[in-house]
């Protein structure tokens, strides 16, 4: 996060910063946990150093973290979902180029469920 903020936004960090992340989500569980951690960390650091960064830009910066720093060749969907998603709506995203479209409302009488398939992947 720090490297990408320095490279892309010219951010400077004149004093140290400690970041603690605690999670009970199993590694490689396929629930976008790495994107959620990246977004939460990016939002916290951006707020701490008083930068003004729009949510869609935060998502793109987080994808850069995953691609350039972590070395994982991921797309941008998970970061956008973590950063720009809203309760009660389906997020519509054009991934190439990364562009948010109008969200789709979920009718109250419709329930959506996420089911853990148990299939794990390497991160």
Rounded to 5 degrees, φ, ψ at 48 are: -65, -35
Structural contact between residues 76 and 60, judged by C-beta atoms closer than 8 angstroms: yes
Tens of pLDDT, residues 67-110: 998 888 888 999 999 999 999 999 999 988 889 999 999 999 99
Please identify which of the residues 4, 46, 78, 79 carries the catalytic annotation: 78
Which one, of 36, 26, 97, lies nearest residue 66 by Cα?
Answer: 36
Please give the Cα distance from 1 to 29 (Å, whole number).
Answer: 22
- Average pLDDT, whole number, for the chain? 88
Query: For the chain, which domains are there?
Result: 2-105 (3.30.230.10)
Both tokens of residue 16? 């140290």
Q: Is 78 in the active site?
A: yes
Angle at 20 between CA 14 and CA 22, to 5 degrees: 160
Confidence (pTM): 0.83
Share of the chain above pLDDT 70, in %: 93
Please give the Cα distance from 123 to 110 (Å, whole number).
Answer: 33
């Amino acid at each position: 996060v720090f490297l990408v903020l320095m490279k892309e936004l010219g951010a400077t960090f004149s004093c140290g910063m400690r970041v603690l992340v605690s999670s009970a989500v199993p590694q490689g569980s396929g629930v976008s946990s790495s994107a959620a951690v990246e977004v939460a960390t990016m939002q916290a650091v951006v707020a701490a150093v008083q930068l003004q960064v729009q949510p869609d830009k935060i998502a793109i910066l987080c994808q850069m973290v995953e691609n350039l720093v972590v070395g994982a060749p991921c797309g941008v969907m998970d970061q956008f979902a973590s950063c720009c998603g809203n309760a009660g709506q389906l997020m519509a995203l054009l991934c190439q180029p990364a562009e948010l479209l109008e969200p789709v409302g979920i009718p109250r009488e419709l329930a959506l469920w996420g089911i853990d398939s148990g299939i794990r992947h390497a991160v």
